Structure 1
Amino acid sequence: MSKTLMAMLQYDSWSSHYDDQFMRQNKYAAPREAFNAVAARTDVARSNLRMLDVGCGTGLLSEEFRRANPDAFIAGIDLSSGMLREFRKKNVANELVQGSITGRLPFHDASFDLAASTGVFELITRPANVIAEMSRVVRKNGLVAFTSPHNWFDRPNTLEKYTPSLTALANWIDRGRSHREAYMEHAMRSSGIEPVETRQFIGYQKNGGKAPYQLYIGRKLDKS
């Protein structure tokens, strides 16, 4: 069985209780943090806003944008049919696509005002490719935002302590990991995105501990 298929099956089995585990039990903060960072830099309430949720899962990030803007066009892509099934129940997105985010995204160049991703980069060994695709589908001066675990997650047993299910999944796919800030910002600049904010926040809490994450947000350069 391929690693991609194993990852998809793991999330399919997790989908029905994902929201309860992360949002309520673990106080998952990444969607709200990413939304707030974007909202501080663009008008998220404008009627023609187009937003892409990359690795959308059950739509936790998209829900933040929908609450702020009932008229926005929101699209999402995710590999897991189970996660997308839960997302569809919420009637939040205008378009949902099942597919991998590590190849070419099935969207036109410059077709979104912003592309955002939370809870995904810890499962990706080569995030530069994903960042480049997020940049491609965003218009000039648009925003790209994403979260990634802080390098504290590289310490032995840290990931195991907080998310045993995620650890098993990460091991299947060459172990997802934290990514160094310098690497991530270099990947952004190489893709035509100028970083405008990088900061640490508490991604979620479990077993008496707090899991630190990094938030990255950048603006696509207008090179014309």
Structure 2
Amino acid sequence: MTDRDSQVQGIFNRINASYDRINGLMTLGGHARWCREVARLAQVPPGGRLLDIATGTGVIALAARRREPRAEIVGVDFSENMLAEARTKPGADGITWEFADAHELRYADESFDAVTHGYLLRNVSDVPRVLSEQLRVLKPGGRVVVLETAPPRGLLKLAVSAGMSVVLPLLGQLVAKDRDAYGYLKSSTLGFIPPAEVARLMREAGFQDVGYESKYLGTNVILWGTKPPAARDSGTGTAAA
């Protein structure tokens, strides 16, 4: 874990109690709706396995549980305080909550039908490695669905950037009593790469059928991709060794 990773971990360990409330205020309720959309797009089959990375307070994982009660859902995060918050929510008993570093997942190759995450990539030190780990643990044909922030562009760039620079730290001070932590979240949002660049990195990691849809004046985005199906021996019709 790099010094930056340790810093980010400390920040999320401090803001767990206020995280859902501020997300809801900042997105006018959109955050919970987008998490439900991520869970839907993951297309977890009945009895399948979903890994929700950077699960935070578990919003995506719990939405997936409601959609597919028979699935095995694992929510992981590197903030123990966020995991503690997730475990208090209704329905949390039906999910396995575990500590994990997204740079080095402990799960076996091809062990999940779908991988989801929200606001993970802007907070990690090595995006290509994190995406490669997700590809590794996905089964062939499995889907990854990503909820991420995006830097504002176009005519609204100045207004949105100015608004976030003022509103997010102010909400952090008023709601969480932690202006510095939400100052970091503001800078990591405005400084993150555009969705087209994230999509390119996903394709470079090995995902196919990559696409995305912008949300909330382009400041949030949902991206998706698929792990290629297993190669097959054209002579026997069985998977290649």
Q: Which residue of 2 aligns with 1:187?
A: 201
Go from structure 1 to structure 2 and tell me whether the alpha carbon gap of 1:30 and 1:195 turns closer, same or farther (over 3 Å shift).
Answer: farther
The residue type paired with residue 147 of structure 1 is L
Residue 144 of structure 2 aligns with an amino acid whose one-letter code is V
Contact 2:8 2:123 in 1 (8 A): no
Match of 2:177 in 1: none
User: Would the alpha carbon gap of residues 110 and 86 (structure 1) be closer, same or farther in structure 2, given more than 3 Å must change?
Assistant: same
Moved more, 136-145 or 69-78: 69-78
In 2, distance between residues paired with 1:19 and 1:123? 17
Range 82-91 or range 160-169, more displaced = 160-169
Select the structure that is richer in helix. 2
Is structure 2 residue 29 aligned with structure 1 residue 15? no
Structure 1 stretches of 4+ moved >6 Å:
none
Q: 1:106/1:40 Cα in 2 relative to 1: closer, same or farther (>3 Å)?
A: closer
For structure 1, the 5+ residue unaligned runs are 203-209
- Sort the Cα spacing of 1:38 and 1:70 in 2 relative to 1 into closer, same or farther, 3 A: closer
Return the alpha-carbon distance in structure 2 between the equivalents of residues 37 and 3 of structure 1: 27
How many angstroms does 1:5 deviate by?
2.9
TM-score for the superposition, normalised by structure 1: 0.80
Larger Rg: 2
Determine the structure 2 residue equivalent to 1:6.
7
Q: What RMSD, in angstroms, separates the aligned Cα atoms of the two structures?
A: 2.8
Report what 1:205 is aligned to.
Answer: none
Question: Following the alignment from structure 1 to structure 2, what is the Cα–Cα distance between the partners of residues 168 and 40?
Answer: 29
Q: Percent identity?
A: 20
CA distance in 2, matches of 1:31, 1:113: 23
Number of the residue aligned with 2:237: none
Q: Secondary structure at the match of 2:145?
A: strand
Q: How far is the alpha carbon of 1:50 from its aligned partner?
A: 0.8
More strand by share: 1
Counterpart of 2:75 in 1: which secondary structure?
strand
Q: Distance in 2 between matches of 1:97 and 1:40?
A: 23
The structure showing larger relative contact order (alpha-carbon pairs under 8 Å, at least 6 residues apart) is 1
How many matched pairs? 211
Counterpart in the other structure of 1:161: 166
Q: How does 1:15-34 map to 2 (within 5 A)?
A: 15-23=16-24, 26-30=27-31, 32-33=33-34
Q: TM-score normalised to the size of structure 2?
A: 0.75
| Counterparts of 1:162 and 1:128, CA distance in 2 | 31
